[in-house]
C-alpha cells in the first residue's frame, strides 16, 4: 500500500472508531499499531523492529517501560509513548518519554494519542528532548506539508540525517504558524501598534490605541474571510473543478449525494475556519476538528463528541443559527445573518474550550 493511501486508511479508522476508544490499549490496537505498521512500514510483530513495552533502567528508576521502541540495525531509533484518544498531549504527562530519551541512543521521540502525533528530537541540547516538537500531524486534518518529512522516518526511506537537518526550521515554522493563528484571533498590542504606526500619522494615545485594537481585529478577520472566499472561488473556477451532470432533455441538475445524505457546504467549512481561528488563543488549532451530521455541523475539541465547542444549523435556506455550548453541555441557539456574526460570540466559544481544558 502506498504511503499516502496507508495514511488515509489509518485516518479513516480514527473517524470510524474515535468515539469508542476510551483506553490507551484500545488506542494502541486501533490506531497506533496500524500507523507504525502501515504508514511507517515497520513490522509490529517482529521484535527486532518494534519492541512493545520497551524496558530500560533510568537512574534510580528500574525497569521503566516505554510503549514502543522502533529499531533499525539492532539500534533503537524511535521511541513512542501513547495516550488515549482525546487525552491532552504535553511533556508534563509524558515523563517516561523524556527520561528514556536521555539514556537511549534514539534521536526521535513520538508522543501520540492516536489522532495527534508530535515528533521530537534534541536540537537544543544533546540527549535532552526538546520541549517543542519539530513536526506535528493531525490525522483528522492532515497537513500535506508534513508528509515529506514524515516519509523520511519510514522503514523504506529512513533518512535520519535529513530529518534532523530540517527539524530546526520545521520546529519554528510550526510555532510561528500557531502564533499567527493567535494574532488573527486576538491581536497583541505589539501588532496593533505596528499597524497603527504604519497607517496613522497622529500620536498613539490610549484612546487611539483602543480604536485601533478594534479596527485591527476587524481588519484581520475580514482579511481571513476574503482569503477563504478567494480560495473557494479559485477552486470553483478551476478547469479541474468537478462538473455537475445534467441528464439529456432534462432541466434538473443531478447532484451526486453521499450515501449518508450528508453534504458539507462551503459556508459550513468557512464557519469552521472562523471558529478555529477564534479559539486558537486557547488551544492549538490542530485540536479543533469538525464533524458534519444530517441535522447540524459540529465543531469539536480533540475530535471528541463529548467535547462540542459549537454547532451550526445551516440546513434551513432562510434562517441560520449557531448553537453555543455552556458548562453543562446545554446548547443555546442564536440566529446569525452572515458568517461575520460568529465573531460576536468569540468570548463564549473561548470559554467553552477553557472549560474542557480546565477539566483535563
Question: Tens digit of pLDDT for each residue in 121-136?
Answer: 988 888 888 888 889 9
Among residues 307, 357, 303, the alpha carbon closest in space to that of 139 is found at 303
Q: What is the rounded end-to-end Cα distance, in angstroms, of the chain?
A: 37
pLDDT score, position 253:
36
- Please give the grid coordinates belonging to residue 339: 458568517
R_g (Cα) of the chain, nearest Å: 23
Q: Is the pLDDT at 182 greater than 90, yes or no? A: no
- Please give the grid coordinates belonging to residue 96: 517516561
pLDDT score, position 59:
55
pTM: 0.56
Among residues 65, 143, 154, 73, the alpha carbon closest in space to that of 108 is found at 154
Q: Is the pLDDT at 246 greater than 60, yes or no? A: no
pLDDT in tens, 253-312: 334 444 456 788 889 999 999 999 999 989 988 899 999 888 899 999 999 988 999 999
Domains of the chain, first to last = 3-178 (3.90.1570.30), 262-360 (3.90.930)
For the chain, the average pLDDT equals 84
- DSSP letter (8 states) at residue 128: B
pLDDT score, position 146:
86
Q: How far apart are CA 181 and CA 276, in angstroms?
A: 9
Where helices occur in the chain by DSSP H, the ranges are 3-17, 24-27, 33-34, 95-103, 147-151, 160-185, 189-199, 206-237, 266-279, 346-358
Once rounded to an integer, what is the mean pLDDT over residues 79-92? 88
Contact by Cβ (8 Å): 336, 349:
no
Once rounded to an integer, what is the mean pLDDT over residues 57-82? 81
pLDDT score, position 78:
93
Once rounded to an integer, what is the mean pLDDT over residues 331-343? 89
| 161-179 exposure pattern, b = at least 16 Cβ within 10 A, e = fewer | eebbebbeebbeebeebee
pLDDT score, position 60:
55
- Please give the grid coordinates belonging to residue 357: 481544558
pLDDT in tens, 224-234: 778 777 776 67
pLDDT score, position 63:
63
Among residues 138, 101, 102, the alpha carbon closest in space to that of 118 is found at 138
Q: How far apart are CA 100 and CA 65, in angstroms?
A: 9
- Please give the grid coordinates belonging to residue 351: 470559554
Amino acid at each position: 500500500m502506498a504511503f499516502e493511501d496507508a495514511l488515509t486508511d489509518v485516518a479513516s479508522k480514527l473517524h470510524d472508531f474515535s468515539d469508542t476508544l476510551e483506553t490507551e490499549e484500545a488506542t494502541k490496537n486501533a490506531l497506533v499499531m496500524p500507523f507504525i505498521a502501515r504508514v511507517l512500514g515497520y513490522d509490529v510483530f517482529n521484535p527486532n523492529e518494534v519492541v512493545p513495552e520497551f524496558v530500560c533502567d533510568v537512574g534510580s528508576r528500574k525497569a521503566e517501560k516505554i510503549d514502543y521502541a522502533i529499531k533499525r540495525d539492532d539500534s533503537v531509533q524511535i521511541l513512542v509513548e501513547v495516550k488515549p484518544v482525546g487525552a491532552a498531549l504535553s511533556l508534563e504527562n509524558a515523563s517516561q518519554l523524556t527520561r528514556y530519551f536521555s539514556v537511549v541512543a534514539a534521536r526521535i521521540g513520538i508522543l501520540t494519542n492516536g489522532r495527534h502525533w508530535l515528533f521530537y528530537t534534541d536540537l537544543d541540547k544533546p540527549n535532552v528532548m526538546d520541549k517543542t516538537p519539530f513536526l506535528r500531524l493531525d490525522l483528522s486534518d492532515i497537513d500535506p506539508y508534513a508528509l515529506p518529512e514524515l516519509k523520511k522516518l519510514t522503514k523504506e526511506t529512513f533518512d535520519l540525517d535529513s530529518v534532523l537537518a530540517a527539524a530546526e526550521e520545521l520546529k519554528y515554522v510550526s510555532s510561528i504558524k500557531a502564533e499567527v493563528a493567535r494574532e488573527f484571533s486576538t491581536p497583541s498590542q505589539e501588532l496593533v501598534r505596528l499597524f497603527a504606526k504604519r497607517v496613522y500619522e497622529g500620536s498613539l494615545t490610549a484612546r487611539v490605541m483602543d480604536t485601533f485594537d478594534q479596527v485591527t481585529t476587524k481588519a484581520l478577520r475580514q482579511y481571513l474571510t476574503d482569503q477563504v472566499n478567494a480560495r473557494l472561488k479559485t477552486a470553483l473556477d478551476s478547469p479541474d473543478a468537478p462538473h455537475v451532470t445534467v441528464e439529456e432533455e432534462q432541466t434538473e441538475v443531478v447532484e451526486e449525494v453521499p450515501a449518508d445524505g450528508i453534504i458539507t457546504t462551503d459556508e459550513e467549512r468557512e464557519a469552521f475556519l472562523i471558529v478555529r481561528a477564534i479559539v486558537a488563543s486557547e488551544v492549538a488549532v490542530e485540536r479543533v476538528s469538525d464533524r458534519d451530521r444530517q441535522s447540524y455541523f459540529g465543531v469539536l475539541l480533540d475530535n471528541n463528541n463529548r467535547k462540542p465547542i459549537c454547532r451550526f444549523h445551516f440546513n434551513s435556506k432562510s434562517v441560520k443559527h449557531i448553537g453555543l455550548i455552556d458548562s453543562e453541555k446545554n446548547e443555546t441557539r442564536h440566529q446569525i445573518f452572515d458568517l461575520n456574526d460568529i465573531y460576536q460570540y468569540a468570548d463564549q466559544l473561548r470559554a467553552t474550550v477553557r472549560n474542557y481544558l480546565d477539566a483535563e
